[in-house]
Structure 1
Amino acid sequence: MTIDYSKNNGLVPAIIQDVSTKTVLMLGYMNEEALKKTLETKLVTFYSRSKQRLWTKGEESGNVLRLIDLKVDCDNDTLLISVNPEGPTCHKGSDTCWNENNTQNFGFLTHLEDVIASRKNNANKETSYVASLFAEGINKIAQKVGEEAIETVIEAKDSNDDLFLNESADLLFHYLILLQAKGFKLNDITEVLIGREK
């Protein structure tokens, strides 16, 4: 790995990202010595511009960043470091230096889960399909998942991709509703799958 330390007085930016959630936790700076120590100890070490010395994240708090992977960008002057964080990353006690929670995010599917939760808790069952399903109870929700699963299987056996994709979307949507009716979210399913990984 070739790293260009010449552009910023011997330092390169190091973007720290949680390996599991992909959340950006912080930005620090490394010199050649900090990178060498990081690779040797597997604990992320920076060069502190204010203290003018090497600084291993968590050396006082215990909230270390365990190195998983390291990549250099296309210009060879920025690092992307994947870590397993132990405790909050920010010195102010938050998960990230942007005061965000370091939680699993599935992009649009996480947004959809939030919409379902909002409709479940706040919407009128007369005007909201989601609220009406929750009002009818777990049996109706489970029945809808079963119906959508059968329709998805039927469309999988035909050649109309548009119908297959639409039925698949219906199945996933109703499955997300079923998960919440049982008190769970996608993250709970992810944890089970991770536990099965060999």
Structure 2
Amino acid sequence: MKPDFNKNKDGLIPAIIQDVQTLKVLMLGYMNEEAYEKTIKDKKVCFFSRSKQRLWVKGEESGNFLMLQSMELDCDKDTILIMARPLGPVCHTGTDTCWGETNKETFGFLTALEAVISDRKKEMPEGSYVSSLFEKGINKIAQKVGEEAVETVIEAKDNNDDLFLNEAADLLFHYLILLQAKGFELQDISKTLQERHL
């Protein structure tokens, strides 16, 4: 299915650019049929610049191209969702996105939990279980991960899903603490897995 470029008098339709890896919305541009075809052909996202009144390949001056990964049309065929891999900051101001956001991979609640663990490590509040583990050092943290892994395996062999999920949650929680103790985050693990996948 091709976009319906005839819906607007100027032949332009919006193109929303999303990072294929982080899923962050990076920018919004406009395409005419020629820009659309050039994007497919060259695998670099091309827009029609309304201010310059010409085709414009994102990154043609900066080198921060948007490498095409996929394109989808909305239900009315008048908006394109482009999944791309950015080769640098996207906004002309130098920020990662046109909304000034950092284009960092996030993992929903787990990212928020990582932030709490990081705060406990920095602040070391009295009475905090996480802080007490950091106080005891890497050997104790690694031991806890090992214990939780064994308990998860034991529960995996039984039929009680609640117990299994609770042990799996304990394992993941302590694993996040271990990552922080070693100076890493889930983002580092994700990057390693992605490199193996390529």
Normalised by the size of structure 1, how large is the TM-score?
A: 0.95
Q: Distance in 2 between matches of 1:8 and 1:15?
A: 17
Q: Distance in 1 between matches of 2:29 and 2:196?
A: 35
Q: Distance in 2 between matches of 1:143 and 1:8?
A: 63
**CA-to-aligned-CA distance 1:84-137 (integer Å, 9 cap, x gap):** 11111000000100011111111111111111101111141x321111110111
5 Å-filtered alignment, 1:123-162, equals 123-124=124-125, 126-162=126-162
| 1:181 corresponding residue in structure 2 | 181
Q: Distance in 2 between matches of 1:77 and 1:53?
A: 20
Gaps of 5+ in 2: none
The amino acid of 2:146's aligned partner reads G
Q: 1:14: how far off? A: 0.5
**CA-to-aligned-CA distance 1:130-169 (integer Å, 9 cap, x gap):** 1111011111111111111111111111111001001100
In the alignment, structure 1 residue 122 sits paired with structure 2 residue 117: no
| 1:64 corresponding residue in structure 2 | 65
The amino acid of 2:151's aligned partner reads E
| 1:87 corresponding residue in structure 2 | 88
- Between the two proteins, the alignment pairs up a number of residues equal to 197
Normalised by the size of structure 2, how large is the TM-score?
A: 0.95
Q: 1:2: how far off? A: 2.5
5 Å-filtered alignment, 1:93-112, equals 93-112=94-113
The amino acid of 1:104's aligned partner reads E
Q: 1:196: how far off? A: 1.9
Q: Distance in 1 between matches of 2:3 and 2:195?
A: 36
**Identity of matched residues, %:** 68
In the alignment, structure 1 residue 16 sits paired with structure 2 residue 17: yes
The amino acid of 1:137's aligned partner reads G
Gaps of 5+ in 1: none
Q: Distance in 2 between matches of 1:50 and 1:177?
A: 50
| 1:167 corresponding residue in structure 2 | 167
| 2:6 corresponding residue in structure 1 | 6
Q: Distance in 1 between matches of 2:196 and 2:100?
A: 32
CA RMSD for the aligned pairs? 1.2
| 1:195 corresponding residue in structure 2 | 195
Q: Distance in 1 between matches of 2:38 and 2:177?
A: 48
Q: Distance in 1 between matches of 2:63 and 2:2?
A: 31
SS of residue matched to 1:14: strand
SS of residue matched to 2:173: helix
The amino acid of 1:98's aligned partner reads W
Range with bigger deviation, 1-10 or 59-68:
1-10
